[in-house]
Amino acid sequence: MLIVMDKNATAAQIDQVVRTIEVRGFTARPIPGGDRVSIGILNNAGPVDPALFAGLPGVKDAIPVTRPYKLVSREIQPADTLIRVGKVTIGQGHLTIMGGPCAIEGEAPAMAIAEQVKAAGGQIFRGGAFKPRTSPYTFQGLGLEGLKIMAKIRERFDMPVVTEVMDGETFDQVEEYADIVQIGTRNMQNFSLLKRAGQSRRPVMLKRGMSATLEEWLMAAEYILAGGNSNVILCERGVRTFVRHSRNTLDLSVVPVILKESHLPIIVDPSHAAGVRDQVLPLSRAAVAAGAHGLMVEVHHQPDQALSDGAQSLYPEQFITLCGHARRMHAMLQE
């Protein structure tokens, strides 16, 4: 943290800042500059809250210098985290494609979709049993029944499954049936849920919040690692901007930044970013080209009859094309 003083800050004001630093056990290092004084804070174990200084008299700015995250940081752990789920490995050097419907709507359709996901080369089956829906009046998912259908899919097709958990009450259930537990966009800063995920025996896929900064996202992952679970997969799914031609704006610059800042795997969900089918294939290719470790894509055997998110779900033949493009692109980058 660097505290920048006003040009005309008094010695008393500078002293007050120094005291505020030292009272917390940190070291204050005043840096006289050309026309104003700055004060560095050293020897702080964790992050320092800029808010402690922003309001003091004579203070112009309080600028964080170091990152607040630790366990997720590549500075702490330089080696890439690789996550193994069944026979699938997720992380640097691998391209993991997850496909399936937005929501599990019943056993027959789920099986039909899973068969096509598997045939196209998808490695992990995704599907929602508990669905976070904007409206209380729309389909909320099959719940436990949906989880059981997913378990059957794992067995029949020898494919791990990933599904979302929405609260502490149903965490045990989800954990029992799923191979990867997903924390959704709207719960990225549900800290109670993150703490529970930190105690889970399952890998956790943590989707980026709708308007989460890189730092907030990594700090949410930090909650899980700090709780004892180091198997976290990050998932970029678009952020909210002024843009209206796609549902969200896929932020692919986050991929190289995550690769640099963190050792955790990062995958991309182009379906929720796009909101419409036409954009899913080009955005999937772009995500792989940007260096993502995988894709999570919505696929449905009859998208125009899906109970949710039909417009963004691929037809099976589109998913085959996507898998082909993605694998060839990834192979090119591995050369």
In the complex, minimum distance from the CB of residue 205 to its own copies, in angstroms, rounded to a whole number: 18
Q: Where are the beta strands (DSSP E) in 244-318?
A: 266-268, 294-298
CA dist 122 → 16, 77, 270, 297, 323 (Å): 60, 30, 15, 10, 7
For its own copies, the closer of residues 4 and 144 by Cβ is 4
In the complex, minimum distance from the CB of residue 21 to its own copies, in angstroms, rounded to a whole number: 11
Cβ contact 218:72 at 8 Å = yes
In the complex, minimum distance from the CB of residue 140 to its own copies, in angstroms, rounded to a whole number: 8
In the complex, minimum distance from the CB of residue 142 to its own copies, in angstroms, rounded to a whole number: 16
Q: For residue 236, what are the β-bridge partners? A: 268
In the complex, minimum distance from the CB of residue 108 to its own copies, in angstroms, rounded to a whole number: 18
For its own copies, the closer of residues 89 and 246 by Cβ is 246
Q: SS3 of 213, please?
A: coil
For its own copies, the closer of residues 2 and 151 by Cβ is 2
In the complex, minimum distance from the CB of residue 190 to its own copies, in angstroms, rounded to a whole number: 5
State the Cα–Cα distance between residues 114 and 234, nearest whole angstrom: 23
For its own copies, the closer of residues 12 and 46 by Cβ is 46
State the Cα–Cα distance between residues 179 and 100, nearest whole angstrom: 15
State the Cα–Cα distance between residues 50 and 4, nearest whole angstrom: 11
For its own copies, the closer of residues 98 and 326 by Cβ is 326
For its own copies, the closer of residues 122 and 303 by Cβ is 303
Dump the DSSP string for 17-39: HHHHHHTTTPEEEEEE-SSSEEE
